[in-house]
Amino acid sequence: MNIFDRLYDAHLTIGGQGITWREIIGNLFGLLSALGGMRRKVWAWPVGIVGNALLFTVFFGLGFTAHGGQVLFGQAGRQIFFILTSVYGWWLWNRTRGSRDRGAPAVHPRWATGRQRMLMIGFWAVGVLLCQWLFRAIGEGFPAPNFYFWADAWIFVGSMVATVAMARGWTDFWLAWILVDLVGVPELIYFKYYPSAALYGIYALFVLWGFVVWLRISRREQDEQPAALESARQV
Protein backbone atom coordinates (compact mmCIF):
# COMPACT_ATOMS: atom_id res chain seq x y z
CA MET A 1 0.00 0.00 0.00
CA ASN A 2 1.55 3.34 -1.06
CA ILE A 3 1.36 6.64 0.81
CA PHE A 4 -1.75 7.78 -1.08
CA ASP A 5 -3.62 4.59 -0.24
CA ARG A 6 -2.64 4.97 3.41
CA LEU A 7 -3.87 8.54 3.53
CA TYR A 8 -7.08 7.62 1.69
CA ASP A 9 -7.90 4.69 3.98
CA ALA A 10 -6.71 6.29 7.24
CA HIS A 11 -9.24 5.71 9.97
CA LEU A 12 -9.88 5.59 13.67
CA THR A 13 -11.35 2.68 15.58
CA ILE A 14 -13.65 3.69 18.39
CA GLY A 15 -15.51 1.01 20.31
CA GLY A 16 -14.73 -1.50 17.58
CA GLN A 17 -16.22 0.78 14.93
CA GLY A 18 -13.98 2.02 12.11
CA ILE A 19 -14.34 5.68 11.13
CA THR A 20 -12.45 7.15 8.18
CA TRP A 21 -10.85 10.53 8.52
CA ARG A 22 -12.57 11.39 5.23
CA GLU A 23 -15.92 11.05 6.93
CA ILE A 24 -14.93 13.19 9.89
CA ILE A 25 -13.19 15.93 7.89
CA GLY A 26 -15.88 15.96 5.19
CA ASN A 27 -18.58 16.64 7.77
CA LEU A 28 -16.50 19.33 9.46
CA PHE A 29 -16.13 21.09 6.10
CA GLY A 30 -19.92 20.83 5.70
CA LEU A 31 -20.47 22.43 9.09
CA LEU A 32 -18.02 25.23 8.27
CA SER A 33 -19.83 25.79 4.96
CA ALA A 34 -23.14 26.09 6.82
CA LEU A 35 -21.59 28.68 9.12
CA GLY A 36 -20.44 30.67 6.09
CA GLY A 37 -23.91 30.37 4.56
CA MET A 38 -25.52 31.74 7.71
CA ARG A 39 -23.12 34.70 7.61
CA ARG A 40 -23.85 35.10 3.86
CA LYS A 41 -20.21 34.65 2.86
CA VAL A 42 -19.26 33.56 -0.66
CA TRP A 43 -16.50 31.26 0.66
CA ALA A 44 -19.20 28.97 2.05
CA TRP A 45 -19.66 27.43 -1.41
CA PRO A 46 -16.06 26.32 -2.21
CA VAL A 47 -15.61 25.06 1.35
CA GLY A 48 -18.78 22.99 0.94
CA ILE A 49 -17.50 21.53 -2.34
CA VAL A 50 -14.42 20.10 -0.58
CA GLY A 51 -16.63 18.47 2.06
CA ASN A 52 -18.99 17.05 -0.56
CA ALA A 53 -16.12 15.46 -2.49
CA LEU A 54 -14.83 13.76 0.66
CA LEU A 55 -18.27 12.51 1.70
CA PHE A 56 -18.98 11.12 -1.76
CA THR A 57 -16.06 8.71 -1.32
CA VAL A 58 -17.48 7.69 2.06
CA PHE A 59 -21.07 6.97 1.04
CA PHE A 60 -20.12 5.33 -2.24
CA GLY A 61 -17.95 2.86 -0.35
CA LEU A 62 -14.69 3.64 -2.14
CA GLY A 63 -11.59 2.27 -0.45
CA PHE A 64 -11.83 1.42 3.25
CA THR A 65 -15.35 1.07 4.55
CA ALA A 66 -16.46 0.18 8.04
CA HIS A 67 -20.08 -0.27 7.07
CA GLY A 68 -20.13 -3.71 5.53
CA GLY A 69 -19.89 -2.45 1.95
CA GLN A 70 -23.28 -0.76 2.16
CA VAL A 71 -23.48 1.91 -0.52
CA LEU A 72 -26.00 4.68 0.13
CA PHE A 73 -26.76 5.87 -3.40
CA GLY A 74 -29.00 8.71 -2.29
CA GLN A 75 -26.45 10.05 0.15
CA ALA A 76 -23.62 9.61 -2.39
CA GLY A 77 -25.63 11.02 -5.30
CA ARG A 78 -26.59 14.16 -3.46
CA GLN A 79 -22.90 14.96 -2.91
CA ILE A 80 -22.51 15.17 -6.69
CA PHE A 81 -25.56 17.40 -6.91
CA PHE A 82 -24.19 19.57 -4.08
CA ILE A 83 -20.97 20.12 -6.02
CA LEU A 84 -22.86 21.13 -9.18
CA THR A 85 -25.28 23.39 -7.33
CA SER A 86 -22.49 24.89 -5.23
CA VAL A 87 -20.77 26.02 -8.42
CA TYR A 88 -24.02 27.78 -9.36
CA GLY A 89 -24.43 29.27 -5.88
CA TRP A 90 -20.79 30.37 -5.82
CA TRP A 91 -21.23 32.16 -9.15
CA LEU A 92 -24.57 33.73 -8.19
CA TRP A 93 -23.47 34.99 -4.77
CA ASN A 94 -20.18 36.28 -6.17
CA ARG A 95 -22.01 38.15 -8.95
CA THR A 96 -24.49 39.63 -6.49
CA ARG A 97 -21.73 40.72 -4.11
CA GLY A 98 -19.88 42.36 -6.99
CA SER A 99 -22.82 44.71 -7.55
CA ARG A 100 -22.82 45.91 -3.91
CA ASP A 101 -20.58 47.93 -1.63
CA ARG A 102 -17.34 46.36 -0.45
CA GLY A 103 -17.94 44.25 2.66
CA ALA A 104 -21.68 43.93 2.00
CA PRO A 105 -23.24 40.44 2.41
CA ALA A 106 -23.54 38.33 -0.73
CA VAL A 107 -27.31 37.95 -0.50
CA HIS A 108 -30.34 39.52 1.16
CA PRO A 109 -32.56 36.85 2.77
CA ARG A 110 -36.20 36.78 1.74
CA TRP A 111 -39.06 34.31 1.74
CA ALA A 112 -39.91 32.51 -1.46
CA THR A 113 -43.16 33.65 -3.07
CA GLY A 114 -46.25 31.48 -2.80
CA ARG A 115 -45.76 30.25 -6.35
CA GLN A 116 -42.08 29.47 -5.77
CA ARG A 117 -42.93 27.60 -2.59
CA MET A 118 -45.57 25.50 -4.32
CA LEU A 119 -43.07 24.65 -7.07
CA MET A 120 -40.57 23.50 -4.43
CA ILE A 121 -43.13 21.32 -2.66
CA GLY A 122 -44.37 19.84 -5.93
CA PHE A 123 -40.84 19.11 -7.13
CA TRP A 124 -40.03 17.47 -3.80
CA ALA A 125 -43.12 15.25 -3.86
CA VAL A 126 -42.75 14.13 -7.50
CA GLY A 127 -39.00 13.76 -7.11
CA VAL A 128 -39.35 11.40 -4.13
CA LEU A 129 -41.76 9.16 -6.04
CA LEU A 130 -39.45 8.98 -9.05
CA CYS A 131 -36.20 8.61 -7.13
CA GLN A 132 -37.39 5.82 -4.82
CA TRP A 133 -38.46 3.89 -7.93
CA LEU A 134 -35.11 4.61 -9.60
CA PHE A 135 -33.13 3.53 -6.54
CA ARG A 136 -35.09 0.26 -6.41
CA ALA A 137 -34.43 -0.31 -10.12
CA ILE A 138 -30.71 0.27 -9.65
CA GLY A 139 -30.65 -2.08 -6.68
CA GLU A 140 -28.28 -2.30 -3.76
CA GLY A 141 -25.32 -4.49 -2.89
CA PHE A 142 -27.00 -5.47 0.36
CA PRO A 143 -30.52 -6.47 1.47
CA ALA A 144 -31.89 -2.96 1.90
CA PRO A 145 -35.11 -2.55 3.92
CA ASN A 146 -38.10 -0.97 2.18
CA PHE A 147 -37.87 2.30 4.11
CA TYR A 148 -34.32 2.84 2.83
CA PHE A 149 -35.46 3.70 -0.70
CA TRP A 150 -38.04 6.22 0.50
CA ALA A 151 -35.64 7.75 3.02
CA ASP A 152 -32.79 8.07 0.53
CA ALA A 153 -35.14 9.58 -2.07
CA TRP A 154 -36.45 12.07 0.51
CA ILE A 155 -32.91 13.08 1.47
CA PHE A 156 -31.70 13.28 -2.13
CA VAL A 157 -34.54 15.44 -3.47
CA GLY A 158 -34.83 17.54 -0.32
CA SER A 159 -31.15 18.37 -0.54
CA MET A 160 -31.70 19.61 -4.10
CA VAL A 161 -34.53 21.87 -2.96
CA ALA A 162 -32.58 23.24 0.02
CA THR A 163 -29.40 23.96 -1.94
CA VAL A 164 -31.15 25.76 -4.81
CA ALA A 165 -33.22 27.78 -2.30
CA MET A 166 -30.01 28.78 -0.50
CA ALA A 167 -28.44 29.91 -3.79
CA ARG A 168 -31.52 32.07 -4.45
CA GLY A 169 -31.36 33.56 -0.95
CA TRP A 170 -34.70 32.15 0.22
CA THR A 171 -35.10 31.80 3.99
CA ASP A 172 -37.17 28.69 3.30
CA PHE A 173 -33.98 26.71 2.64
CA TRP A 174 -33.32 26.37 6.39
CA LEU A 175 -36.73 24.73 6.85
CA ALA A 176 -35.99 22.35 3.98
CA TRP A 177 -32.76 21.29 5.68
CA ILE A 178 -34.64 20.59 8.92
CA LEU A 179 -37.00 18.26 7.05
CA VAL A 180 -34.02 16.53 5.42
CA ASP A 181 -32.24 16.02 8.76
CA LEU A 182 -35.36 14.55 10.40
CA VAL A 183 -34.97 11.61 8.02
CA GLY A 184 -31.23 11.72 7.38
CA VAL A 185 -30.01 11.39 10.98
CA PRO A 186 -32.04 8.23 11.79
CA GLU A 187 -30.96 6.66 8.49
CA LEU A 188 -27.29 7.29 9.20
CA ILE A 189 -27.63 5.80 12.68
CA TYR A 190 -29.35 2.71 11.26
CA PHE A 191 -26.50 2.11 8.80
CA LYS A 192 -23.84 2.85 11.47
CA TYR A 193 -22.49 6.06 9.99
CA TYR A 194 -22.19 7.33 13.54
CA PRO A 195 -19.82 10.30 12.99
CA SER A 196 -22.02 11.59 10.18
CA ALA A 197 -25.15 11.05 12.28
CA ALA A 198 -23.64 12.94 15.22
CA LEU A 199 -22.47 15.83 13.05
CA TYR A 200 -25.79 15.95 11.21
CA GLY A 201 -27.50 16.12 14.60
CA ILE A 202 -25.31 19.08 15.53
CA TYR A 203 -25.95 20.52 12.10
CA ALA A 204 -29.72 20.28 12.68
CA LEU A 205 -29.37 22.45 15.80
CA PHE A 206 -27.21 24.84 13.83
CA VAL A 207 -29.86 24.97 11.08
CA LEU A 208 -32.46 26.07 13.62
CA TRP A 209 -30.12 28.84 14.72
CA GLY A 210 -29.42 29.85 11.12
CA PHE A 211 -33.13 30.01 10.39
CA VAL A 212 -33.70 32.41 13.29
CA VAL A 213 -30.74 34.57 12.17
CA TRP A 214 -31.95 34.82 8.55
CA LEU A 215 -35.54 35.42 9.70
CA ARG A 216 -34.42 38.36 11.84
CA ILE A 217 -32.29 39.77 9.00
CA SER A 218 -35.13 39.55 6.47
CA ARG A 219 -37.53 41.27 8.86
CA ARG A 220 -35.02 43.99 9.70
CA GLU A 221 -34.23 44.70 6.05
CA GLN A 222 -37.93 44.82 5.19
CA ASP A 223 -38.45 47.40 7.95
CA GLU A 224 -35.47 49.43 6.74
CA GLN A 225 -36.69 49.68 3.14
CA PRO A 226 -39.68 52.03 3.81
CA ALA A 227 -37.46 54.21 6.01
CA ALA A 228 -34.82 54.43 3.28
CA LEU A 229 -37.44 55.39 0.68
CA GLU A 230 -38.87 58.07 2.95
CA SER A 231 -35.40 59.47 3.58
CA ALA A 232 -34.73 59.57 -0.19
CA ARG A 233 -37.95 61.52 -0.78
CA GLN A 234 -37.01 64.12 1.80
CA VAL A 235 -33.65 64.65 0.14
In degrees to the nearest 10, what's the CA dihedral of 66, 67, 72, 75? -50
Q: Are 188 and 13 in contact (CB under 8 A)?
A: no
More confident: 232 or 155: 155
Mean pLDDT check: name the lowest of 12-26, 175-189, 191-205. Answer: 12-26
Give the pLDDT of residue 65: 45
What is the pLDDT, as a whole number, of residue 116?
95
Residue 116 · residue 107 · CB < 8 Å = no
Considering the chain, what is the average pLDDT of its residues? 78
The reported pLDDT for the residue numbered 188 is 80
Collect all residues with Cβ–Cβ distance below 8 Å to 136 and sequence separation of at least 6: 149
Q: Between 43 and 141, name the one with better pLDDT.
A: 43
Instruction: Give just the sign of the alpha carbon dihedral 225, 229, 230, 234.
Output: positive
Specify the range with the lowest mean pLDDT, choosing from 50-54, 58-62, 111-115.
58-62
Map out the domains of the chain as residue ranges: 3-234
User: In this model, does residue 130 exceed pLDDT 90?
Assistant: yes
- Cβ burial 23-33 (10 Å sphere, 16+ → b, else e): bbebbebbbbb
- CA-CA distance, 141 to 211, in Å (whole number)? 38
Residue 140 has pLDDT above 80, yes or no: no
Length of the chain, please? Answer: 235
Query: Per-residue pLDDT for 121 more than 90?
Result: yes
pLDDT at position 104 is 66
Burial of 116 (0-12, 13-18, 19+ CB in 10 A): middle
